[in-house]
Amino acid sequence: MEYDDWTAGAGPLRGIGPREGLPPGLVWPSRRGEAGGPTQWQTRSGAFRSSGGGNWVPTEVPSSAGQRTVEAAARLPAHGAVTGWAALRWAGARWFDGIGSQGAPIPVTLALGTRHTLRPGGQVRVSQEHVPPGDIHRLRGLRVTSSCWSVAFEMRKASTVEAAVVAFEMAAYDDLVSVAELTSFTRSALWIRQGVPRVREILTLLEENSWSPMEPLMRLAWMRSGAPRPRANAPVFDLSGRFVGTPDLLDPIAGVYGMYDGGLHLVGEVRHADVAKEAAYRRLGLEGATMMSGDLNDSSAFEVRLGEAYARAEPTACGHPPVAARAAWLVGADRDRGAAPRAVGVRPRTTAAVSPGCLTLPLSSKCI
């Protein structure tokens, strides 16, 4: 059976009305014996699999993050909503794939308050926090909590500060939330809920322009080393206006950049491009430090490499000033988030002309 058309999803938030459609490829579970549902023989034959709560879906339907979210949402009573990573994924946050660090699926959390009889288990968790009605919306067939509530929930329940920072920044990647919005939401809506002190404490650490989950981890390690807070993904140009590259992190004052190299960066065309980019940065006089996947559990080796990069960026023995003394910094914000309505889409990664907030450097010769 093909699932290329929109199919019926959850009912309305209040009262009675039509069920809003689900995106193609996703299937709303049905109960045995109801109209369109499986027969007893079909559930016993393996043609359908149980999705919990007496619901069934055809076995051929892939168990993707979206499908698991739908199956969890089908167990909601007349109130409550999907929250946390699953709500963010449903709203368009592509980095939330629902897979944990050990490769196992992460359960979908349902925010139900205390007036419910649903028992958690399997692929469903239950939050007994009461969600204000204004933070529950129906989106593409499902009831989900607002992006501010969802990301704050992930941050409050995260196992570490690093995980909380990554959760926010990967939601900000798809423009679902900003630091200003989260700050206002924390003050006005969360009050004394569990984990709120942590959110308040790390608001100053957050960044809206990270492009992958590893970048905030590298930035936090950078700051733990005692170095100044770097800029995230600031494009670099030479003085002729030619775009050179966009390092993951950049200290424009010292002329030091940082790059994260995961497994994809070790072979093939990606590695070739990385080497060429490093050479281009060196021609400008920038000094770099690379973080590897092995540095995630213990960042001390990266911090040593970073310290060495800062040392190389200092004035040379023959009198050449550090690179920052030869740089022309155009003051301006990376992005004006309030200039346009929130839009989910692919953010442009390069630009063809010098723009505010970019570092321009002369092509310089190193002291020999």
Predicted pLDDT at 181: 97
96: nearest Cα among 88, 294, 166, 343: 88
Q: Is the pLDDT of residue 363 over 70?
A: no
Residues present in the chain in total:
368
pTM over 0.75: yes
The per-residue pLDDT for 365 is 38
pLDDT band at residue 21 under the 50/70/90 scheme: confident
Q: Which amino acid is at 214?
A: M
Average pLDDT of the chain to the nearest whole number: 82
Calculate what percentage of the chain has a pLDDT beyond 70. 77
Tell me the helix, strand and coil percentages in the chain, rounded to 5. Answer: 35, 20, 50
Identify the bridge partners of residue 276 per DSSP, sorted by sequence position: none
Write out pLDDT tens, residues 132-143: 999 999 999 899
What is the maximum span of the chain, computed from C-alpha positions, in angstroms? 86
pLDDT at res. 351: 34
Cβ–Cβ < 8 Å for 333, 356? yes
- Residue 197 buriedness (CB in 10 A; 0-12 / 13-18 / 19+): exposed
Nearest to 175 by CA among 339, 344, 349: 344
pLDDT for 347 equals 39
pLDDT tens figures, 25-35: 899 999 998 88
Dihedral of the CA atoms 111, 130, 196, 171 (nearest 10)? 40
220 has pLDDT over 50: yes
Query: What is the H or E stretch that residue 71 is in?
Result: helix 65-73
- Torsion on CA atoms 240, 241, 246, 249, rounded to nearest 10: 70
**359, 244 in Cβ contact below 8 A?**
no
- Which residues are registered as beta bridge partners of 139? 142
Nearest to 358 by CA among 210, 224, 270, 245: 245
Task: Please tell me which residue, 264 or 16, carries the higher pLDDT value.
Answer: 264
Please state the rounded mean pLDDT for residues 223-233. 96
Q: How far is CA 18 from CA 11, 36, 79, 290, in A?
A: 6, 17, 17, 54
Is 144:178 a contact under the CB 8 Å cutoff? no
Let me know: does 206 contact 165? Beta carbons within 8 Å.
yes
300-356: pLDDT as tens digits: 999 999 999 999 988 654 444 555 444 433 322 343 333 333 333 333 333 333 444
In contact, 81 and 88? CB cutoff 8 Å: no
Confidence band, pLDDT 50/70/90 cuts, at residue 17: very low
pLDDT of residue 267: 52
